[in-house]
Amino acid sequence: MEKLIITVAPTGSLPQKKHTPHVPITPREIIATAVRCQAAGAAIIHVHVRNLQDESASTDFRLFEEVVQGLRVETDLIIQISTGGRAGMSYEERCERLRLIPEMASLTTGSVNFPNSVYANSPELIEKLAADMLRYGIKPEMEIFDLSMIQNALNLVEKNLVQPPLHFDFVMGLKGAIPATAENLMHMKNTIPPGSTWSAAGIGPAQLPINTMAILMGGHARVGLEDNIYYRKGELAANEQLVERMVRLGRELGRETAGPEEARRILRLK
C-alpha cells in the first residue's frame, strides 16, 4: 500500500476559543500550528481563515494571503485552501482566494443540509470554481458529503473542467450527510474511478474510526479540529496530537507516513 498522507484541518468554520483553546484563529496561530503539525507528520494543511473580531468564518483575501505566505516561508506543507462558504457567500467571495494559487483547493460537488443551514453549492458555482482551479493549475480535492457528489465530480471530468486522476475526501458522520459506517465508506471507495486517490474525514466521534478504516482500506486520513475537537471523550485535543496519533496508527497498521514531497508524488501534483 502507498504511504499514508495525513491532512490536518486545524481551524474550519465553527470551533471557537470558547469551545477549545487549541483552535488556531489568527494567521500567526494557524502558521504556528502548521509548523507543529508538519513536525508531527502532516503533509497537507486544509486552510480556513477567521475574522479576528468575532472568530467567524471569513472570506477576507488579505487573511488568506497572510496565512499562505507564512505557510510557504515556514513549512513545506501542501497548501489546500477551502473554497467552502457559509450561507449567503457569493461565488466572488469564494473564488478570490484561488488567486494565491495554492497547490490544492477543496471543491464540494453538491449541496447538503447542515444541522441548522443549507450548505449550498449550485451546479453553476461548482463549475465556475472547477474552471478557476483548472486555469490556475490547482488540484481540487472533491469534498464528498454524499454518494451523489461523486457522480457530480465525474460529470466535471466529462465537461473537461477537471483532469483525472481525481482526489476525493469523504466527509462522514455529519448530521444531514452520509453516516459514518464501514459499509458506506466501502461503497464510496468502490464508486470512485480506479486510479483515484482518496482520504476520509469523520465528524466528531467518527473521526478516529473513519480514519482507521481509511488506513486499512488504502486511503488517506484527514484529522483536525475542523472535524473534531476531542482526543477522546471529554478530553480536548491539539491538532498536532491528532496528527501524531495518525502517524502511530499508520505505523502499527503497516502504513508509513508520507512527507509533503512523497504526498505530491502520490497525488500527482505538478
- Which range touches Zn ion (CB under 5 A), out of 34-42, 57-65, 79-87, 228-236? 79-87
> Measured from the CB atom, is 227 or 240 closer to Zn ion?
227
Kindly state the smallest distance separating residue 60's Cβ from Zn ion, in Å.
Answer: 16
Kindly state the smallest distance separating residue 224's Cβ from Zn ion, in Å.
Answer: 9
Please report, to the nearest 10 degrees, the dihedral formed by the alpha carbons of residues 121, 103, 206, 249 taken in order.
170
C-alpha cell at position 134: 483548472
Rounded Cα gap, residues 205 and 212, in angstroms: 12
Going along 48-127, which residue ranges are E strands?
78-81, 104-108, 112-114, 117-119
C-alpha cell at position 202: 469523520
- Which range touches Zn ion (CB under 5 A), out of 81-89, 164-172, 173-181, 230-238? 81-89
Kindly state the smallest distance separating residue 241's Cβ from Zn ion, in Å.
Answer: 19
Residues 6+ apart with CB under 8 A from 55: 16, 17, 25
- Which range touches Zn ion (CB under 5 A), out of 30-38, 56-64, 75-83, 131-139? 75-83
> Measured from the CB atom, is 108 or 212 closer to Zn ion?
108
By CB under 5 A, the count of residues binding Zn ion is 1
C-alpha cell at position 219: 486511503
| Among the listed residues 57, 80, 222, the one whose alpha carbon sits nearest the alpha carbon of residue 141 | 80
- Residue 82 interacts with Zn ion (CB under 5 A)? yes
Kindly state the smallest distance separating residue 171's Cβ from Zn ion, in Å.
Answer: 9
Kindly state the smallest distance separating residue 252's Cβ from Zn ion, in Å.
Answer: 28
> Measured from the CB atom, is 45 or 255 closer to Zn ion?
45
Between the two ends of the chain, the Cα-to-Cα distance in Å is: 22
- Residue 38 interacts with Zn ion (CB under 5 A)? no
| Closest residue by beta carbon to Zn ion | 82
Q: Are 171 and 203 in contact (CB under 8 A)?
A: yes
- Which range touches Zn ion (CB under 5 A), out of 77-85, 111-119, 171-179, 201-209? 77-85
10 prior amide bond cis, ω within 30? no
Could you list the residues that contact Zn ion (CB under 5 A)? 82
